[in-house]
Amino acid sequence: MLKQKPLVTAILMAGIFSGTASLAAASANDVDQTQEKTPTEQHAAAQKKDATSSQAVKSIQQEKNQLSETLNKSVVEGYKKVQQATELLQQDGKEKEAIALLQTATGQFDTALAANPDLGLVPIDVDVAVVELLTDEKTIKKAIKTAKELLEDNKIQEAAAILSTLKDELVTATAYLPMATYPDAIKDATKALVAGKKDNAQTILATALSTIVVDESIIPLGLVRAEAHIIKAAELDKEKDKSAIEQHLKAAKQQLALASLLGYASKHEDAYRDLTKQIQHIEKEMQGDNAVEALYKKLKTSFSRLIKAEGSQQTDDSKE
């Protein structure tokens, strides 16, 4: 799933993704967001001990975090200089220092454009946040039922408080600088400062800041966990590890069901349904003497395709 929105100036001024810290903290503590201690305590504990699921979540988080290594360093440094200049202009008598910083930023933008004149939207920051929901299907259904009843009674905020906990996802937010317009705006702000028009310069900088775009992609963790269980099942010997394989296949189906129950399958219902059918096909073939390697290969390809579709980030302009 993908959401695209302009970056709010106040958020950028405080640090691009400072608002996601609470999500990351929740993930780090493995919070059971439903606050349901019974009868789900044992189930949640079992999920926490599920090495396959835990490693899958850690792996995809690390993969997304590595996106920060692809950022254009010249553009990032230029943007930081603009931030510093903008902050200085909140003080009196700092115009000369701000001008120097903006000129340095312009030089860094020019360097990036000289290397690639066709730069469009260039990533300048990446933030990854994981929110894990450790619970079972029964508890989720109970929460949904309660929320519906509250909505019927027009208790909107109470229902919203419950629904807001029903998230099990990895969110990747990437900020993009529009190189077709942003560097020129910085030059205009610099000219305004040199001419002694501080207010005008601040207005230009604020407008430029509002043109930064954030793409937000969401990958359901149930899908990630299900794929991990399938990969594990495919690695095991059909004859020697039949019981373990059956447990992995069952866990994969459960994770897909939870993802669907939480509403993550709404845009790809057919794909989710197909994954479940493929798993059921393997379960059936496990009872006989037929080879299942080709079935696993097809299933893993289907998982990979769907996860890529869920996590893909597309914008109308080109990116580096």
Secondary structure, 3-state, the chain: CEEEEECCHHHHHHCCCHHHHHHHHHHHCCCCCCCCCCCCHHHHHHHHCCHHHHHHHHHHHHHHHHHHHHCCHHHHHHHHHHHHHHHHCCCCCCHHHHHHHHHHHHHHHHHHHHHCCCCCEEEEEEEEEEECCCCCHHHHHHHHHHHHHHHHCCCHHHHHHHHCCCCCEEEEEEEEEECCCHHHHHHHHHHHHHCCCHHHHHHHHHHHHCCCEEEEEEEEHHHHHHHHHHHHHHHCCCCCCHHHHHHHHHHHHHHHHHHHHCCCCCCCHHHHHHHHHHHHHHHHHHCCCCCCHHHHHHHHHHHHHHHHHHHCCCCCCCEC
Does residue 253 lie within any of the structural domains? yes
Amino acid, single-letter form, for residue 240? K
- Measured from the Cβ of residue 87, the count of other Cβ atoms closer than 10 Å reads 13
Distance CA 257, CA 14 (A): 39
Residue 35's pLDDT is what?
41
Domain end position, chosen among 190, 220, 250: 220
95 and 238 assigned to the same domain:
no
| Residue range of the domain that includes 300 | 221-311
> Do 183 and 148 have their domain in common?
yes
Looking at the DSSP bridge assignments, the partners of residue 217 are 2, 172
Of 72, 73, 75, residue with least CA distance to 110: 75
Last residue of a domain, one of 160, 195, 220: 220
Residue 253 makes CB contacts below 8 A (sequence gap 6+) with 226, 276, 279, 280
Which residue, 5, 4, 12, 16, is CA-closest to 206? Answer: 12
Question: How many whole angstroms separate alpha carbon 228 and alpha carbon 62?
Answer: 15
- Evaluate whether residue 27 is within a structural domain: yes
Report d(CA 5, CA 123) in Å as an integer: 14
Distance CA 306, CA 145 (A): 29
Residue 51 lies in a domain: yes
* d(C-alpha 47, C-alpha 54), whole Å: 8
If asked whether residues 42 and 187 sit together in one domain, one would say yes
| Residue 18 CB contacts under 8 Å (≥ 6 apart), including other chains | 11
User: Quick one: 8 and 133 in the same domain?
Assistant: yes
Same domain, 246 and 119: no
Residue 73 lies in a domain: yes
State the total domains in the chain.
2
Q: Is residue 191 part of a domain?
A: yes
Domain identity same for 169 and 274: no
First to last CA, the chain: 22
Query: Same domain, yes or no, for 258 and 205?
Result: no
Name which of 260, 293, 290, 287 is nearest 274 in CA terms: 260
Residue 291 domain-assigned (yes or no): yes
Residue after which a domain boundary falls, among 188, 220, 252: 220
CB 16 within 8 A of CB 125: yes
Q: Are both 99 and 199 inside the same structural domain?
A: yes
Domain shared by 239 and 271, yes or no: yes
Nearest Cα residue to 315 out of 223, 224, 210, 212: 212
Q: Domain check: are 161 and 262 in the same one?
A: no
Q: Are residues 113 and 249 in the same domain?
A: no
Per-residue tens of pLDDT for the chain, all 320 residues: 444 444 433 333 334 443 333 323 333 333 344 344 443 444 444 454 578 888 888 888 888 777 777 688 999 999 999 999 999 999 999 999 999 999 999 999 999 999 999 999 999 999 999 999 988 999 999 999 999 999 999 999 999 999 999 999 999 999 999 999 999 999 999 999 999 999 999 999 999 999 999 999 999 999 999 999 999 999 998 778 889 999 999 999 999 999 999 999 988 999 999 999 999 999 998 887 677 889 999 999 999 999 988 887 443 333 44
**Whether residue 102 is found in the same domain as residue 200:** yes
- pTM exceeding the 0.85 threshold for the entire prediction: no
- Could you tell me if residue 212 is inside a domain? yes
Q: Give which of 6, 209, 267 is closest to 201, Cα–Cα.
A: 209
Q: Read off the pLDDT of residues 265-303 as tens digits, 9 standing for 90 and up.
A: 988 999 999 999 999 999 998 887 677 889 999 999 999
The answer to whether residue 320 sits within a structural domain is: no
